[in-house]
Chain A
């Protein structure tokens, strides 16, 4: 039972799954449109939230919010379920698949055998689509992969019920109502405004532009506050969150710039195309930061001077983003 599901490779799992699932239901939205309308772009640094002793940094909003906001803004209805019984969860999955319905699943990256070993950390908020079964294996459309892959029942069950932070608890979801046509103009304006407001006005100093400046200050202090090895690990983690985990490059900034280009066309507002260029340039600066940071990690060149330079690069990115988002805040339908 395969539902003729169209697999399209994406940069990011949540926006990729959303785009592919909605396309299956007749609503054609690109990954950048999904990411943007879901107001996915963000920034946060939470020193109190540690993974393996390293503070959390994020370049996007909390997992699940992209899809949730997208559905709300476009009038899409979804059914979502978590389970206490692993076998019930797998049986329910089989039942839905038999009806020819592809589903989204939350899984742990660690337990997906088709992924390269080097990427398999314990990350429990990875979205995939399962759309059928063949020779006893489940057919997977994992948006970060180039093609369809397979997984056996035992592995999928373990991936769906992995323990730890953000445990998926077998979460399964699929659309139950998808409008045939949608007016994207109002959702686009709303979503851009939301992103701009969140990046510039959240009063907590850990988020948005404030968060970038906060982290920049902390990065300058790393060589003073900790030993070389720890400083390099902390810095390396920032680079990983920015570039490694399916961000499409530059901490989702390139996907956002692609969104602004599409928004510009749909709204017929050419100024958005210019802002898109500014976002691309800022993305390139983030990548310069990543490049220099990685070199410093590699050479273990943990000096006050080097980290000060990185801090300044990050502050420059913050300044650029502040200008960008203050402009985007003014977006309207006309």
Chain B
């Protein structure tokens, strides 16, 4: 890849927070470092990955709103956590976390338990109860 051919396809993926470093050859054929704001193929596959995640989140949100799953399931999907990871953060067994995915079990959680989940998700208790 030549220095002056390093793509600069800005899809605002990087939100202006950084430019990524790539290696490319200069006019003398020697390697040099070049900053880039993006490359279309990278932008495409990254959006594809997020689209997939967002669709899964929407599907879980529907299930929560239809009373099939508790809001914990929504936040798990939103934060891309699996049961075992969430169990690690909240300090419960995976079995117990799975149990709390059931709407009726969730309704019986104490304030302390809700606090634990809110902390695990790093959100407020109010946010925990919603599927924003």
Contacts and interface: CB of A to CB of B under 8 A. Distances in A.
Interface of A: 9-11, 32, 52, 110, 114-119, 121-122, 144-146, 158, 163-164, 229, 232-233, 236-237, 239-240, 243-244, 246, 248-250, 254-255, 257-258, 261, 277, 280, 283-284, 287, 290-291, 293-295, 297-298
Interface in B64-95: 79-82, 84-85, 88-89
Most B CB contacts (10 A, CB to CB) among A10, A32, A239, A294 go to A294
Nearest to B79: A110
Interface of B: 1, 13-15, 17-25, 29-31, 33, 35, 39-42, 44-46, 48-50, 52, 79-82, 84-85, 88-89, 122
26 contacts: A9-B33, A9-B35, A32-B31, A52-B80, A115-B17, A116-B15, A118-B15, A121-B80, A144-B18, A146-B35, A158-B122, A229-B52, A232-B48, A233-B52, A237-B45, A239-B45, A246-B20, A249-B23, A254-B23, A255-B23, A258-B31, A261-B31, A290-B41, A291-B40, A293-B41, A294-B44
A312 to B, nearest CB: 18
A233 B25 contact: no
A258 B23 contact: yes
Contacts of B48: 232-233, 236, 297-298
Nearest to A260: B31
A32 B41 contact: no
Given A257-B23, A258-B23, A284-B1, A236 B45 contact: yes
Given A250-B1, A280-B1, A9 B21 contact: yes
A115 B25 CA distance: 28
Q: How would you classify the secondary structure of chain A's contact residues: helix, strand, loop or mixed?
A: helix
Given A254-B24, A255-B23, A283-B1, A294 B18 contact: no
B98 to A, nearest CB: 16
Contacts of A110: 79-80
A11 B42 CA distance: 15
Most A CB contacts (10 A, CB to CB) among B20, B21, B23, B80 go to B23
Contacts of A294: 40-42, 44-45
A287 B30 CA distance: 19
Given A145-B18, A258-B31, A239 B42 contact: yes
A118 B1 contact: no
Nearest to B56: A52
A294 B49 CA distance: 12
A264 to B, nearest CB: 11
Contact of B13 (A118, A145, A249, A295): A118
Nearest 5 CB-CB pairings of A with B:
A294-B41, A258-B31, A163-B88, A236-B45, A254-B23
